[in-house]
Amino acid sequence: MIFQQVLNEESGCLSYLIGCSEAGRALIVDPGRDRVHEYLRLAAKKGLTISHIVETHTHADHISGNRDLAELTRAPILVHRAAGVAFEHSEVSDGDELRIGSVRVQIAHTPGHTADSICLLVTDLSRGDIPWFVLTGDMLFVGSVGRPDLGGAQAAQDAWESLHRVLLPLDDSVEVYPAHGAGSACGRAMSAKSGSTIGFERRFNPALQFKERGAFVDFIMRDLPPKPPSFEKIVGKNRGLVPLMAAKPRPYAAREAWEAVQRGEIVVDLRDPATYGEMHVAGAINVWIESPQFAERVAGMVPAGVPLLLLAQGPSDLERAVQALARVGVDEVVGFLQWGMIEWRSEGFTVESVPQITVHELTEWLEEGRDVAVIDVREHSEWLEGHIKGAQHLPMLEAQGRSAEVPADRPKAVLCAGGLRSSTVISALKRHGIQGWYNVSGGMTAWQRSGYPVVRASSDKSGA
């Protein structure tokens, strides 16, 4: 058997090639739209022909590459019958088997994260007749389980049943390979490890420590972060209900870009927060191209369907951005500012800035009693681990929907873990007409490294 894991570090997505050297065939599991040619190269390098494409579930965080890969290989796309897809495919059901030479792949229907979720029990028959490993999709992660909020409490109960019917009865030695790792929005507190074993998860996965269904449901439904706004759009595209497009951005002169912005198009500034803060296009959304989950952050902060113009430091950043955004279904990139801020400024168009301050400056302001609102845009789990006393908690993806809670008449110092998300939130809320922003460079990481005090949620209710 040939087994290869393909990791997309930017998104935390994991896909797989499983093949048989003697049969010369392979299947690809959970292909990503931006990795199609990588699968083809990998298969060719190993002397394999891709004969099947399998989806463990309908993904909500990225666009699948199944149709692109099927067009190039003529391999059928296999999905569970509950997927409800509108493109050409073949259906699989609980108990079905695929044979690729000496490799046996058993299908187990495991609803919970989604209704169409399946796990793949993989056996190398040349070694024995029991499963060697299991591809768990988004049912079971390393250190977590799939978020059930797509189906609510009933989905959480389904997850309990699937775990106890299919996965937990497996031998401790069976290896576990999920569809996502750390960095994905499909679960929480996932490990950075890309694989595990049933035994390790049985012992250390917090979600698997509950003996009663009700306690398990309460645990995984508690404090779920909001569903990213791009999820519904991505699901629609992955089901074939919304057409896929390919972005073909063209160069825009500054005046043409200015006219486009007046029509409602949005500039996405790919530069780092300090450079953005020094001078930027009025109304631009700042998401640094080097940010973790760059594409997911853009998808979560720009309105769906609005044409986008990119502003970058160089051509390579533009190419990376377009490819990454295509992975999450943001195909509305129509152009880029050909000469960046140089021409924009020389033409005399409006520019803005955001002052960057250090944690030491913020500390001085607070000690002096300066009238400044501290806004923490990290996720709930990060907030619980420690935050600045008196800070207001406004998670990044909730910020625009809760803009009315922002004190418009006070200076606002915004921080996250390192200064990237805070710049993104500032740029988005500036579009709502709110001014008076300071970005705290280094964020809570610099704050804590400097030895400044933090409080836990239980001891400070003022920002909850």
Q: Are residues 310 and 416 in the same domain?
A: no
* Domain assignment present for 230: no
pLDDT of residue 27: 97
* Domain assignment present for 73: yes
Q: Are residues 61 and 143 in the same domain?
A: yes
pLDDT of residue 410: 95
AA identity, residue 40: L
Q: Are residues 270 and 190 in the same domain?
A: no
Residue 419 neighbours by CB distance under 10 Å = 24
pLDDT of residue 462: 41
Average pLDDT over residues 260-269: 97
Average pLDDT over residues 187-205: 82
* Domain assignment present for 240: no
From 356, 337, 334, select the one nearest 346 (Cα to Cα).
337
Average pLDDT over residues 37-60: 97
Q: Is the pLDDT of residue 240 over 80?
A: yes
Q: Are residues 305 and 438 in the same domain?
A: no
Residue with more model confidence, 250 or 34: 250
What domain count does the chain have? 3
Q: Using CA atoms of 51, 57, 58, 62 in order, give the dihedral in degrees to the nearest 10.
A: -80
Q: Are residues 79 and 190 in the same domain?
A: yes
Q: Are residues 86 and 217 in the same domain?
A: yes
Q: What band does 51 get if pLDDT is binned at 50, 70 and 90?
A: very high
* Maximum Cα interatomic distance, the chain, rounded to a whole number of Å: 74
Q: Are residues 288 and 363 in the same domain?
A: no
Q: Are residues 361 and 443 in the same domain?
A: yes
**Domain termination residue (choose one: 352, 368, 387):** 352
Q: Are residues 90 and 188 in the same domain?
A: yes
Average pLDDT over residues 33-58: 96
Q: Are residues 280 and 213 in the same domain?
A: no
Average pLDDT over residues 231-238: 90
Average pLDDT over residues 424-452: 97
pLDDT of residue 149: 66
Q: Are residues 199 and 53 in the same domain?
A: yes
CA distance 59 to 116: 10
User: Which domain does 109 fall in, by range?
Assistant: 2-221
Calculate what percentage of the chain has a pLDDT beyond 70: 95
Which range among 22-26, 56-60, 65-69, 151-155 shows the weakest confidence by mean pLDDT? Answer: 151-155
Q: Are residues 50 and 181 in the same domain?
A: yes
52-105 tens-digit pLDDT: 999 999 999 899 999 999 999 999 999 999 999 999 999 999 999 999 999 999
AA identity, residue 210: F
pLDDT of residue 12: 82
User: The whole model's pTM is what?
Assistant: 0.84
